[in-house]
C-alpha cells in the first residue's frame, strides 16, 4: 500500500497571491476499496449499461483469498469503462511551476548565473534536424561512412533526453532510477529488443558497475540528434550485414557532433536564418531586469562563442529592449567558450576578448570590468576575482553533467532547465492519463496481493488464469500511458513500470530546483522560500491523487 500512497498522494504546489506564498492542505493516499466505492458513488455507469464480468463456472479457485482477489478484479473491470468525475475534479499540476528537490530561500540568493543554449536561448524543433544533417554529412564526407547514410532523416518521434548509449554493445537504453534497463526501452539500432533478447545480451536487466563503465549519458537538448544518428548508423550496419565496433560508431558520431559545434557550422546556420531556429522571448528580458532591479548580480557562463551569443540575444530580445543599449548591460560578467565541464576543475586563466578586433588579449585578468567579454577561465579564478560565496550563487543550465554537476559540488545552488517538462506535465494533467495511471496501480496492488497469496503454494488453474489476466490488463495500461509521451521510450522522467527514470535520478542528484524555463521564476516573489513537499519520495512534479476525492459518503 505504501507504493500506492507514494504514487497517489498529492504534493503541495505553490500558489501565488499578492502578499504571500500559500500551500494547499496536504492530502493522503487511498485504498483500492475506497477507489472502487468512489466509482459507484459517482455513478460512473449503471449495471444496465455495463455487462457484468461473469466468472467461468468451470474454474475452481485455490482458496478464499484468490477468490477475493478475483472478485476485486472483476469489480474493477466494471469501472474501467469511463473516467470518474472525481478524477476530473483533481487539481492540475502547473506546467510552468518550479519543483524543489532541496529547500531554497530565494532571499538568500544574491548572484544568478546562466548558461546560454536551451537556457536563455529557446530554439525551435528545426535545430535538431540541422545538427543531425550537418553531423551526417561530416560522417560521410570526412569519416568515409557509406554514402547510403546520406539518405538518413532526423526522426523527432524516436529519441528522448536521458538515454544511455552502450559503447560495447551498441544499444540505446532507458534506465530506471535504480539503474535497471526499462523492459520496453532497449533499442539495437531502430529495433526494440524483447525481454528475452535483453536477458541474453545483458544477463540481467540491472546494469552493474562494470557494465556501467561502457555507458554514456545523453543528457542535454543537443543529444536528441546524437541519439537518433547513433541508432540510424547501427541499423544501417546491421541491415548491410557489416561488422562494426559499437565504440567506434560512438566516437565517430561524437566527433561529428562536436565538429558541427566547434567549427561554427551550426552557429552560422542558426544565425543565417534566426527566424527558423530561434524563438523570440521578451519574458526572459523581464526576468533579468527584475533581478537587476532587486540588486542581484548576474553572470553568463557558456561554451558558445561570443559572436553566436551576441547574434542570438540581439534577435531574441530585439522587440523588447526598448531604450536599453545592449543586452550585455544586464550582466556583471560575461564568459564565453568556457569549456565546461573542465571549467569547474581546471586552472585555465581567463582571457579578455576584444570584440572589435575579434581576438584574445595577452594581459592578465585579475578583475572583471563591466560590459567586457571574457573567454575560457576556471571556477577557482572566478571565485577569487568575484568573492561570490557558493551558497549565495544559483546557476541555471540544461545539461546535468556539463552545467550542473560541477556547480553543485562547488557549493552553488543549481536550477535545471528542462523544456520538455511542460509537455510532460500537460500530459499528466489529462483525465485520460490519470485514469490509466489509476488503473495501472490498482492492478499492481492486486498483483502484489496475488503473488503474496500464492507465494508458498502450488498455483492452480484459477490462480494462473487470474495472473494472466492481470498482467495483460497491466501491460495495456502501460502501453497506453507510454504512447501518450513517446512511442519508443515513453516519458522522460518515468519508466513504463511507474518508477522514476535514471534521468530523474540525475535531476534529483544535481538540481536543487528544476523548471521548464528561467522566466518561470517571474511567477514567484523574489523573496520566496521554496520547500520540498514533505510527502514527496522522489520527483515533486509527478501526479498524485488526493484521498479526499475517493472517500465514501
Write out the DSSP string of 409-434.
HHT-EEEEE-TTHHHHHHHHTSHHHH
User: Which string of DSSP letters, residue by residue, matches 47-92?
Assistant: TTTS---PPPTT---SSHHHHHHHHHHHHHHHHTTS--HHHHTSPP
Interior angle at CA 36, CA 34 and CA 38, nearest 5: 65
Whether 244 and 301 share a structural domain: no
Contact (CB, 8 A) for 145 and 139: yes
Longest CA–CA separation in the chain, Å: 91
Q: What is the pLDDT of residues 32-86, one digit of tens each?
A: 444 444 443 333 333 333 344 444 444 444 568 888 888 888 888 877 777 777 7
Over range 333-362, report the average pLDDT.
94
117 is known to lie in a ligand binding site? yes
Please check whether residue 502 lies inside any domain of the structure: no
Helix, strand, or coil (residue 360): strand
Contact (CB, 8 A) for 189 and 235: yes
Helix, strand, or coil (residue 21): strand
Please check whether residue 148 lies inside any domain of the structure: yes
State the residue range of the domain holding 192. Answer: 126-274
The number of folded domains in the chain is 2
Whether 316 and 254 share a structural domain: no
Whether 117 and 133 share a structural domain: no
Catalytic residue (one of 115, 133, 184, 512)? 115
* Cα distance between residue 135 and residue 130, in whole Å: 9
pTM for the full predicted model: 0.82
Q: What pLDDT was estimated at residue 11?
A: 36
Active-site residue flag, 184: no
Catalytic residue (one of 117, 232, 310, 332)? 117
DSSP 242: -
Contact (CB, 8 A) for 372 and 352: yes
Find how far residue 473's CA is from the centre of its chain: 27
Whether 154 and 177 share a structural domain: yes
Between strands 393-397 and 413-417, the pairing is: parallel
Whether 254 and 294 share a structural domain: no
Whether 188 and 287 share a structural domain: no
Determine phi and psi for 155, rounding to 5 degrees: -110, 100
Over range 403-430, report the average pLDDT.
92
Please check whether residue 381 lies inside any domain of the structure: yes
Q: What is the pLDDT of residues 160-204, one digit of tens each?
A: 999 999 999 999 999 998 889 998 899 999 999 999 999 999 988
Write the CATH number for 318: 3.40.50.1000
Whether 151 and 228 share a structural domain: yes
Q: What is the pLDDT of residues 216-240, one digit of tens each?
A: 999 887 899 999 999 999 999 999 9
Whether 118 and 196 share a structural domain: no
* Cα distance between residue 100 and residue 479, in whole Å: 29
Q: What is the pLDDT of residues 126-142, one digit of tens each?
A: 999 999 999 999 999 99
Cell triple for 526: 523574489
Active-site residue flag, 325: no
Nearest to residue 393, comparing CAs of 412, 368, 377? 412
* Cα distance between residue 357 and residue 64, in whole Å: 86
Neighbour tally for 449: CB within 10 Å? 18
Amino acid at each position: 500500500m505504501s507504493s500506492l500512497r507514494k504514487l497517489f498522494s498529492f504534493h503541495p504546489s505553490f500558489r501565488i497571491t499578492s502578499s504571500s506564498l500559500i500551500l494547499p492542505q496536504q492530502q493522503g493516499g487511498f485504498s483500492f476499496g475506497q477507489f472502487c466505492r468512489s466509482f459507484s458513488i459517482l455513478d460512473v455507469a449503471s449495471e444496465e449499461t455495463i455487462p457484468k464480468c461473469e466468472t467461468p463456472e468451470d474454474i475452481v479457485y485455490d482458496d478464499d483469498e484468490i477468490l477475493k482477489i478475483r472478485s476485486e478484479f472483476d469489480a474493477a473491470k466494471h469501472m474501467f469503462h469511463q473516467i470518474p468525475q472525481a478524477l476530473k475534479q483533481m487539481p492540475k499540476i502547473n506546467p510552468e511551476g518550479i519543483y524543489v528537490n532541496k529547500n531554497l530561500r530565494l532571499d538568500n540568493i544574491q548572484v544568478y548565473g546562466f548558461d546560454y543554449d536551451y537556457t536563455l536561448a529557446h530554439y525551435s524543433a528545426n535545430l535538431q534536424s540541422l545538427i543531425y544533417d550537418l553531423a551526417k554529412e561530416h560522417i560521410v564526407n570526412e569519416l568515409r561512412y557509406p554514402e547510403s547514410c546520406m539518405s538518413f532523416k532526423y526522426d523527432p518521434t524516436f529519441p528522448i533526453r536521458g538515454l544511455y548509449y552502450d559503447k560495447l554493445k551498441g544499444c540505446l537504453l532507458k534506465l530506471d532510477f535504480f539503474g535497471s534497463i526499462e523492459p520496453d526501452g532497449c533499442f539495437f539500432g531502430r529495433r526494440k529488443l524483447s525481454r528475452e533478447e535483453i536477458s541474453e545480451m545483458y544477463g540481467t536487466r540491472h546494469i552493474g558497475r562494470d557494465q556501467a563503465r561502457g555507458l554514456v549519458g545523453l543528457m542535454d537538448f543537443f543529444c536528441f540528434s546524437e541519439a537518433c544518428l547513433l541508432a540510424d548508423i547501427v541499423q544501417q550496419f546491421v541491415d548491410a550485414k557489416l561488422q562494426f565496433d559499437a565504440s567506434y560508431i560512438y566516437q565517430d558520431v561524437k566527433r561529428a557532433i562536436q565538429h558541427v559545434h566547434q567549427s561554427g557550422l551550426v552557429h552560422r546556420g542558426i544565425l543565417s536564418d534566426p527566424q527558423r531556429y530561434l524563438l523570440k522571448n521578451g519574458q526572459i528580458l523581464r526576468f533579468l531586469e527584475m533581478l537587476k532591479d532587486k540588486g542581484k548580480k548576474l553572470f553568463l557562463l557558456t561554451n558558445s562563442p561570443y559572436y553566436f551569443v551576441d547574434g542570438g540575444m540581439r534577435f531574441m530580445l530585439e522587440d523588447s529592449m526598448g531604450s536599453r543599449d545592449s543586452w550585455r548591460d544586464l550582466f556583471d560578467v560575461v564568459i564565453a567558450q568556457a569549456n565546461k565541464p573542465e571549467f569547474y576543475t581546471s586552472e585555465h586563466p581567463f582571457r579578455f576578448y576584444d570584440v572589435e578586433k575579434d581576438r584574445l588579449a595577452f594581459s592578465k585578468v585579475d578583475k572583471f570590468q563591466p560590459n567586457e567579454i571574457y573567454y575560457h577561465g576556471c571556477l577557482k579564478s572566478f571565485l577569487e576575482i568575484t568573492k561570490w560565496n557558493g551558497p549565495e550563487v544559483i546557476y541555471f543550465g540544461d545539461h546535468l553533467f556539463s552545467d550542473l554537476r560541477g556547480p553543485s559540488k562547488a557549493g552553488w545552488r543549481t536550477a535545471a532547465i528542462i523544456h520538455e517538462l511542460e509537455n510532460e506535465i500537460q500530459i499528466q494533467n489529462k483525465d485520460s492519463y490519470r485514469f490509466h495511471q489509476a488503473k495501472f496501480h490498482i492492478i499492481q496492488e492486486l498483483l502484489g496481493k496475488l503473488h503474496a497469496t500464492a507465494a508458498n503454494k502450488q498455483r492452480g488453474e484459477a490462480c494462473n488464469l487470474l495472473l494472466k489476466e492481470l498482467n495483460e490488463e497491466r501491460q495495456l495500461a502501460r502501453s497506453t500511458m507510454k504512447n501518450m509521451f513517446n512511442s519508443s521510450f515513453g516519458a522522460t522522467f518515468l519508466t513504463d513500470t511507474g518508477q522514476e527514470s535514471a534521468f530523474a535520478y540525475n535531476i534529483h542528484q544535481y538540481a536543487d530546483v528544476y523548471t521548464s524555463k528561467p522566466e518561470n521564476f517571474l511567477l514567484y516573489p523574489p523573496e520566496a522560500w521554496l520547500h520540498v513537499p514533505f510527502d514527496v519520495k522522489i520527483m515533486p512534479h509527478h501526479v498524485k491523487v488526493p484521498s479526499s476525492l475517493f472517500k465514501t459518503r
